[in-house]
């Protein structure tokens, strides 16, 4: 539970970290809930991660989020990694327990699924094949979430086929790894397509995919939020597809973090979205 007699502390560790919109998000929730506390960007070099994580407890932090490049390395430092984070292979959130030990979990999967649900009420993972483009850390959280939600067929396309195969072998179930040259055809008959590659992000190359085989009824999602509408999403929208951008994934992954740190489940409101969108 939240402690009105104590200044609440949390933050995000990354390198670099100043681009992160997480402080804006969490500090909005401190204000909304009338709590004395703050959420700070913590610029931590990779070689300083272990010392920084161990300092959370003595400094009185409830926990922290982790961003690039710490999500994998932190798994070796915390005292316990939960089953979800183990399956995804990365920690996005650290919780300091009462005895000072650190537990790691991953809220990216929750963030992705809840964002899609919030933006597209009535969406179902099992309504048809899903094409997932990319097989990095983001893809693992997306594939895990989709499989958990009951997706019956996940066509996982990646530039490096071996990375897609690794996920398909580890997760099993509905995931089928496909080579990069099949990316255009993988959209045929799909109910949803998700870009999890870095392509389309500011400063990165465009996602090279033709949408002509994607049914107009399909939902197109991106986990990128800078820019808010990637060229891939813009192309999908222009041909009539519904789209979901990546900002809400970031906003929604904060909810279970707050629940674990402060015992409160905050809301992702339209006001919060608009406030963060204005800064992008």
- Which residues make Cβ contacts (< 8 Å) with residue 276, sequence separation at least 6? 21, 24, 25, 247, 251
Contact 25, 254 (CB under 8 A): yes
- Do the strands 219-222 and 242-244 form a parallel or antiparallel pair, or are they unpaired? parallel
Nearer to ligand ATR, 197 or 253 (CB): 197
238 is known as an active-site residue: no
Q: Determine, following the binding rule CB under 6 A, whether residue 138 of this chain makes contact with ligand ATR.
A: yes
Choices 1-9, 92-100, 129-137, 209-217; region in contact with ligand ATR by CB under 6 A: 129-137
- Per CB under 6 A, the list member of 16, 100, 205, 263 interacting with ligand ATR is 205
Q: Which is nearer to ligand ATR, 253 or 262 (CB)?
A: 253
Shortest distance in whole angstroms from residue 143 CB to ligand ATR: 11
179 scored as a contact of ligand ATR (CB under 6 A): no
Q: Which two tokens stand for residue 202?
A: 């500011």
Strand 242-244 versus strand 8-14 pairing type: unpaired
Applying CB under 6 A, does 72 fall inside the site for ligand ATR?
Answer: no
Task: Assess contact for 117 and 140: CB atoms under 8 A.
Answer: no
Q: Please confirm whether the linkage preceding 147 is cis (ω < 30° from 0).
A: no
Which of 71, 176, 216, 278 is the catalytic position?
71
* C-alpha distance across the termini of the chain, in Å: 33
Complex with ligand ATR: residue 22 or 139, whichever CB lies closer: 139
Does the footprint of ligand ATR cover residue 44 (CB under 6 A)? no
- According to CB under 6 A, which one of 37, 89, 111, 137 is a site residue for ligand ATR? 137
CA distance 100 to 45: 23
Please state, in angstroms and rounded to a whole number, the distance separating the CA atoms of residues 157 and 29: 37
- Residue 135: strand pairing partners: none
Residue 73 lies near ligand ATR (rule: CB under 6 A): no
CA distance 203 to 195: 16
Residue 36 CB, shortest distance to ligand ATR, in Å, is: 34
d(CA 12, CA 240): 37
How many chain residues are in contact with ligand ATR, going by CB under 6 A? 15
Residue from 14, 63, 89, 134 touching ligand ATR (CB under 6 A): that is 134
Backbone angles phi, psi at 142, to 5 degrees: -65, -50
Site string for ligand ATR, 156-175 (x = CB under 6 A): --xxx--x------------
Q: Which of 84, 102, 199, 214 binds ligand ATR (CB under 6 A)?
A: 199
Largest CA distance in the chain: 59
Binding to ligand ATR by residue 106, rule CB under 6 A?
Answer: no
Q: Is 197 in the site for ligand ATR (CB under 6 A)?
A: yes
Site residues for ligand ATR, window 108-127 (CB under 6 A)?
A: none
Residues at the interface with ligand ATR (CB under 6 A): 134-139, 158-160, 163, 196-199, 205
Catalytic residue numbers?
71
């Amino acid at each position: 539970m939240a402690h009105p007699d104590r200044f609440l502390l949390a933050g995000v560790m990354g390198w670099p970290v100043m681009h992160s919109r997480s402080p804006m998000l969490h500090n909005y929730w401190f204000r909304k809930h009338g709590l004395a506390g703050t959420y700070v960007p913590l610029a931590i070099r990779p070689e300083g991660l272990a010392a920084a994580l161990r300092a959370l407890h003595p400094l009185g932090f409830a926990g922290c989020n982790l961003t690039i490049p710490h999500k994998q390395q932190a798994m070796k430092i915390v005292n316990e990694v939960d089953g979800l984070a183990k399956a995804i292979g990365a920690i996005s959130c650290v919780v300091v327990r009462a005895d000072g030990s650190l537990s790691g979990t991953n809220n990216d999967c929750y963030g992705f699924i809840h964002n899609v649900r919030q933006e597209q009420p009535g969406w179902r993972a099992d309504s048809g094949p899903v094409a997932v483009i990319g097989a990095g850390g983001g893809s693992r959280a997306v594939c895990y979430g989709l499989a958990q939600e009951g997706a019956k067929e996940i066509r996982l396309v990646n530039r490096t086929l071996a990375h897609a195969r690794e996920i398909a072998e580890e997760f099993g179930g509905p995931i089928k790894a496909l080579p990069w040259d099949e990316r255009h055809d993988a959209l045929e008959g799909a109910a949803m397509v998700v870009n999890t590659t870095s392509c389309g992000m500011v400063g990165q190359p465009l996602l090279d995919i033709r949408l002509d085989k994607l049914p107009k009824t399909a939902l197109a999602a991106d986990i990128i939020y800078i820019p808010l509408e990637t060229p891939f999403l813009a192309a999908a929208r222009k041909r009539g597809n519904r789209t979901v951008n990546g900002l809400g994934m970031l906003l929604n992954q904060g909810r279970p973090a707050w629940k674990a740190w402060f015992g409160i489940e905050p809301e992702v409101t339209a006001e919060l979205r608009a406030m963060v969108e204005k800064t992008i």
